[in-house]
Every structure is written in structure tokens, then in C-alpha cells.
């Protein structure tokens, strides 16, 4: 049995590609949390004057592909700690020239183009239909906008979430832009709606690392912003201080007692959190 936490943890940070640690190891605590969907590891520490949980999507060695991330285990684990707000960081490609490399984006809409990912907690015993017109909590989004008023950012953006791990073809990228998307990513779905299903609000801070395929050069041309795995990781590493500073600024701006939306009946959420954890070796 995991011992109780000394303080309630209401804020969590989920780190995307490039963000694999957040706290001073000497002043933080790693926890393995067993969930009905398998175990996950969370680090507890302080950021922005608050006790917070940190979870890295891809593992500390970037070893978990986007379509293989155990999203339900991650979100269930955070909910079990008492988390009510998630700040997520993401690497994205820009599919329009208005979102060039180096842009910070507060994402407010997504288009799901993934397939086969377990994307609901309500697949047994109870069916709940999540209202998802505004998947990223508008109140939390506005808090982030105001907190980062001194930073050069895009205050809104629609992301297309693709299956990965491959990048888009040129035709796909142009199609996404024609559909109204601004950026492309591989992990925001089903992470965001799963959090909403447990009445956790999410705000997303994305960093544009590259120009996606639709903006990339034709064969024989050269463009330093053309998407590649190496370019993404290199630019993310350089941008980490800026990204972490922005996350900390948003956390400091959160009002005490912030109350997230209740998208699902709290009794249904409690029923999900009361499910027995999965023993080692059992199927997901």
C-alpha cells in the first residue's frame, strides 16, 4: 500500500519530448503508482510555490512511442493523487507559416487523427458521454494567457493529433492546414479527454520545433526548419529553460482553491478511481 502524501497534490505537469525531469533530485520523491491499467512512475516536488506531480510521457530515455503510451494509467495515477489541474508540454510542428519554429502556443482545440488508442475510462459498467466542444478548459486557458502576457506566444491554436511515430506526408500536412489546423502533434489525444473524464482541467503549452511536411522544401531544396527527429530534440533541448519558466509562471498564477469543470458526474469519477489496481502480469 502506498503511504499517504504529506500534502495534497492538486497540480501536475506532463512533460513531452525533451522534458524528462523537472525537480531537483535532492528535493523530490519518485513514486511508482499501481493503477487498474498498469503501473506508472510520478515524481513529486515543488514548482511555482506549490506541491506538484511530474510525469514524463515517453519515459526518461524517450523509449515509449506515442501510440504505446499508457495514457489511462498516467491520468488515473494523477487523479488518485488529488490532481485537479494538468499543465502539459508538447512538441509540435507548424503546419502554417503563422506558427513558425520557436513559437510557444497555448493550444485550445484538437483534431483527432489517431486510431486504436484506449480513449475512455467508461468502457465497463457505465457509459458516459463527454462534452468536448472546448477540450482545454477555457477558464484555465485564460489564466495561462494572462500569466504569459509578457511572453511572445500564440494565445490559441488547433492541433492535429496524428498516430505517429512517423511524421506526416506533404499531402497530409497540407490537408491539415486546409482543415484549419495550426500545428501537428502525436500525444495530446487521448490524454486531454481522459483527464476531462476524471474532472481534471488541462492547459497545454506547445513549442513549435519545425515546419511540418507541407511547408518543407521540395527534393533538392534545403530548409533548416524541415522536420526531422534530430531537429526536434535539438531545438527542444535549447528551449527547455523557456518552456519550464512558462510552466512555472502559469502555476504561480493559479488561484488558490481553483475548481475544475465537472464534465462527468463525480460519483462516476469516484467509481473509476475505486477500481482495483491491476496485478503485475495481467493484461491491460
Does the residue 109 lie in any domain?
yes
Give a yes or no: residue 63 inside a domain. Answer: yes
Domain assignment present for residue 107? The answer is: yes
User: Looking at the whole model, is its pTM more than 0.75?
Assistant: yes
Q: What is the domain extent for residue 215?
A: 11-273
Q: Of residues 108, 112, 210, 225, which has the active-site annotation?
A: 210
| Catalytic position from the list 212, 223, 225, 265 | 212
Residue pLDDT, tens place only, 81-137: 999 999 999 999 999 999 999 999 999 999 999 999 999 999 988 999 999 999 999
User: C-alpha distances in angstroms, 277 versus 4, 59, 195?
Assistant: 17, 21, 18
Q: Is 226 inside a domain boundary? A: yes
Phi, psi of 234 (to 5 degrees): -65, -45
User: What pLDDT, on a 0 to 100 scale, did the predictor assign at position 222?
Assistant: 56
- Pairing relation of β-strands 109-113 and 153-154? unpaired
Q: In this structure, what CATH number is given to the domain that contains residue 164?
A: 3.40.50.1580
**Cell triple for residue 204?**
497545454
Q: For residues 281 and 279, give the distance between their C-alpha atoms in angstroms, rounded to a whole number.
A: 6
Q: Is 212 a catalytic residue?
A: yes
Q: What is the pLDDT of residues 151-173, one digit of tens each?
A: 889 999 999 999 999 999 999 99
User: CA-CA distance, 13 to 87, in Å (whole number)?
Assistant: 5
Catalytic residue status for 265: no
Residue 1 inside a domain? The answer is no
Query: Residue 148: enclosing H or E segment and its boundaries?
Result: none
- Asked, for residue 6, whether it belongs to a domain, the answer is no
Which residues are paired to 45 by β-bridges? 52
Task: Report the number of distinct structural domains present in the chain.
Answer: 1
Euclidean distance between the first and the last CA atom of the chain, given in angstroms as a whole number: 21
Amino acid at each position: 500500500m502506498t503511504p499517504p502524501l504529506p500534502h495534497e497534490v492538486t497540480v501536475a505537469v506532463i512533460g513531452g519530448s525533451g522534458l524528462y525531469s523537472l525537480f531537483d533530485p535532492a528535493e523530490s520523491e519518485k513514486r511508482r503508482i499501481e493503477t487498474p491499467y498498469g503501473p506508472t512512475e510520478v515524481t513529486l516536488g515543488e514548482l511555482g510555490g506549490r506541491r506538484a506531480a511530474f510525469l514524463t510521457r515517453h519515459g526518461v530515455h524517450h523509449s515509449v512511442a506515442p501510440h504505446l503510451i499508457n495514457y489511462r494509467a498516467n491520468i488515473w495515477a494523477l487523479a488518485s493523487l488529488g490532481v485537479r489541474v494538468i499543465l502539459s508540454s508538447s512538441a509540435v510542428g507548424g503546419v502554417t507559416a503563422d506558427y513558425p519554429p520557436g513559437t510557444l502556443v497555448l493550444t485550445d482545440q484538437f483534431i483527432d487523427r489517431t486510431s486504436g488508442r484506449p480513449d475512455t475510462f467508461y468502457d465497463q459498467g457505465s457509459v458516459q458521454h463527454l462534452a468536448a466542444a472546448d477540450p482545454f478548459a477555457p477558464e484555465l486557458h485564460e489564466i495561462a494567457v494572462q500569466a504569459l502576457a509578457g511572453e511572445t506566444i500564440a494565445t490559441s491554436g488547433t492541433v492535429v493529433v496524428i498516430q505517429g511515430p512517423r511524421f506526416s506526408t506533404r499531402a497530409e500536412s497540407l490537408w491539415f492546414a486546409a482543415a484549419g489546423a495550426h500545428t501537428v502533434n502525436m500525444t495530446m489525444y487521448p490524454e486531454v479527454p481522459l483527464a476531462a473524464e476524471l474532472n481534471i482541467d488541462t492547459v497545454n503549452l506547445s513549442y513549435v520545433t519545425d515546419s511540418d511536411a507541407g511547408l518543407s522544401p521540395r527534393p533538392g531544396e534545403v530548409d533548416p526548419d524541415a522536420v526531422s527527429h534530430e531537429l526536434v530534440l535539438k531545438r527542444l533541448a535549447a528551449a527547455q529553460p523557456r518552456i519550464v519558466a512558462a510552466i512555472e509562471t502559469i502555476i504561480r498564477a493559479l488561484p488558490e482553491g481553483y475548481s475544475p469543470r465537472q464534465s462527468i458526474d463525480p460519483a462516476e469519477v469516484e467509481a473509476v478511481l475505486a477500481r482495483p489496481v491491476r496485478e503485475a502480469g495481467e493484461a491491460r
